[in-house]
Each structure stands twice: as C-alpha cells, then as structure tokens.
Amino acid sequence: MKIEIWSDIACPWCYIGKRRFEDALDGFAHKDVVDVEWRSFQLDPSLPDHFDGTETEYLSQMKVMPAAQVRQMFDHVTQQAAGVGLNYDFDSIVVANSFTAHRFLHFAKTHGLMSEAKEALLSGHFEKGRDIGDIEYLAEVGQEIGLDPDEVRRVLATDEFTDEVQSDISEARSLGANGVPFFVIDRKYGISGAQPAEVFTQALETAWDEGQKLTVLAGTPQSAGSDSTEEFADGAVCGPDGCN
C-alpha cells in the first residue's frame, strides 16, 4: 500500500495531521508493507523569503482579521497540537517562505531521509522558532539527520530540486487538492485535512480490504461450489465438473 501526503512545512494542521496519521498507522496490522511518501505543497507561494513581523501580524494582514481573532485561532490550534504531544509556540515562529525548505526535503529524499527531514523541520518551525528559510539552519538539520552540511549548502545555493517541488504542487492540484494536509492512498482514496486518528484507521482498513479483492474485467463471477475460487461464467472456463 502506498500513501502520498501533500503538506507544507508552514502549515500547523499538517504537523497535527502527521501525528494523527502516524497514530493510526502505528496500530495498523499491515503497517510493515505501507510505503509513505511526502509530497510538497505551498499554502502561500507569494510569501517573501522572510516576513518582517510575527505570525500573528502576518495572518492578520493576509486574512484581514483582527489580531485578537488570530490569537484565538492560534489558541485553538495549540490545544489541538497538545492533544497529539506537540508543543506549538506561535509567538516564536519565524515567518518565511517554505520553498527552499521543500527543495531541501527533496534533496534529503535522494538519501532516503525525507521523513526524518520533514519531522525535524516541522518541529523546528512550530516548536522551536527556527527559520526554515535559512540555508544555514537547513544545513544544521541536514547534519543532524546524517547529511553532509556542505553539500546541503551547495545544493540550496542553486535551483536544484525546483522542478521536483513544482511538480508535486502541480500534481496536487490535478488531484483536486486545494489545501493541505492531503492524503492519497493507492491513488484510489483521498483524505483531506487533519482528520482524527480513527478516520485514518478506517481509511487504512478500507483501502487494505478493497486492495485484496479481485476486480473482474470480463465475465460474470459465479460460485464454484464449496471452492472459494471464483470462475467467469461468460467466458470459457474450467471448473469442478470439467471445462466448457
């Protein structure tokens, strides 16, 4: 089973959704054969490399909302984050464009370390007040997860992995995703938003059960007596009583 997850590092619900999904996956009987792939998405591509102000000021300006209302929204999200063991600190968030960080994730992917990089950047952004737009910070994260920091700096000083990030974003839109997190299971099932773990559990079980069923492309299935194997009535078949 393959699960693709589109998300943005600067999306608070994406981190919460990640934890809820991981809780569901941890209890899934077939988790060892599940392949999780992180895909890039940007909620606000127009954001400058860095915004000279707080997260409250940024959202207040962008959404034309009173600062007090933004703070109420942050309090709600912080409570939801705490429910899955995350310690959000909106007062310390550095508002920065996430595109360079997404390129870093794709570089980490070439070394099989995208999941580790994703977790580190989300925690750094929402819990530790680190600057996800700063190449030196990304090099630091790279070193922590086993990448060569000098190679990280070299890659991010160029436009490498730009096409990969843009391709992810385009593909999300082609699938109808206008927001994140967005989960796609085997390209058959889509789950939008940071749903409760129970929803992810149900989706995993449904997708697994459906994936084990045979889809008949020709003929009509009919029972083969006590044998559980199905045969096709409309074509030439062989059964317990011979062939026809």
pLDDT digit string, tens, across residues 16-38: 999 999 999 999 999 999 999 99
For 3, the token pair is 């699960």
| Domain total of the chain | 1
Q: CA-to-CA distance for 213 and 117, rounded, in angstroms?
A: 36
Q: Would you say residue 143 lies in a domain?
A: yes
Q: Would you say residue 238 lies in a domain?
A: no
> 13 is in which domain, residue-wise?
2-210
Q: Would you say residue 239 lies in a domain?
A: no
- According to the model, what pLDDT value does residue 237 have? 52
| Residues 94-111 pLDDT 10s | 999 999 999 999 999 999
- According to the model, what pLDDT value does residue 214 have? 62
Q: Would you say residue 150 lies in a domain?
A: yes
Q: CA-to-CA distance for 34 and 133, rounded, in angstroms?
A: 31
Q: Does the structure show a pLDDT above 50 at 208?
A: yes
Q: Would you say residue 46 lies in a domain?
A: yes
Q: Would you say residue 234 lies in a domain?
A: no
Q: Would you say residue 101 lies in a domain?
A: yes
Q: Which whole number is the average pLDDT over 7-20?
A: 97
**pLDDT-based confidence at 48, cuts 50/70/90?**
confident
| Residues 158-193 pLDDT 10s | 999 999 999 999 999 999 998 999 999 999 999 999
The CATH number linked to 146 is 3.40.30.10
pTM assigned to the model: 0.87
Q: State the average pLDDT for the chain.
A: 90
DSSP sequence for 24-87: HHHT-TTGGG-EEEEEE--S-TTS-SB-SS-HHHHHHHHHT--HHHHHHHHHHHHHHHHTTT--
**pLDDT-based confidence at 241, cuts 50/70/90?**
low
Q: Does the structure show a pLDDT above 50 at 226?
A: no
Q: Which whole number is the average pLDDT over 40-66?
A: 92
Q: Would you say residue 229 lies in a domain?
A: no
